Amino acid sequence: PPPFTGVWMGDSKLCAIGVHCGNHITSHGLALNCCTDLTWFEHIVPCGLEGKGVTSLSHELGQHVAVSHVLEPFLDSFQEVFDCTLVSSEEP
């Protein structure tokens, strides 16, 4: 929900998106919670947002969702949305 960044399911964050700028270097990234152990978030205030929670695809869908099941469709969608071609330096 605005003004918070990321992907949300109600009051729970499903995907964190971040950008950091410092020392003339910009870095960015995201964390999509697929099958994350959500109990770790009980010990912190995730993203510094009081009263907000964290969720995962597995929790929301009620079944185990492995990163390997999500990676290819996620990367395909990323390329489509950002009109780009992703190149990997690693062998699959």
In a domain? residue 33:
yes
Has residue 76 been placed in a domain?
no
Give 92's pLDDT tier (boundaries 50, 70, 90). low
User: 92 lies in a domain?
Assistant: no
**Could you tell me which of 6, 12, 65, 10 has the C-alpha nearest to residue 31?**
6
pTM higher than 0.85 for the full model? no
Domain-located, residue 42: yes
77 found inside a domain: no
Strand partners, 31: 16
Evaluate whether residue 15 is within a structural domain.
yes
Interatomic CA distance for residues 51 and 83, integer angstroms: 36
Any domain includes 89: no
* Tokens representing residue 92 in the block: 């699959």
Distances (CA, A) of 90 to 10, 38, 68, 71: 36, 30, 15, 14
Could you read off the pLDDT of 11-63 as tens digits, one per residue? 899 999 888 899 999 998 989 999 999 999 989 988 888 889 999 999 999 99
**47 belongs to the catalytic site:** yes
Cα distance between residue 39 and residue 70, in whole Å = 22
Return the closest-CA partner of residue 31 out of 16, 53, 52. 16
Catalytic residue among 15, 21, 35, 47: 47
- For residue 40, what are the domain limits? 7-65
Does residue 16 lie in a domain region? yes
Q: For residue 91, is pLDDT > 70?
A: no
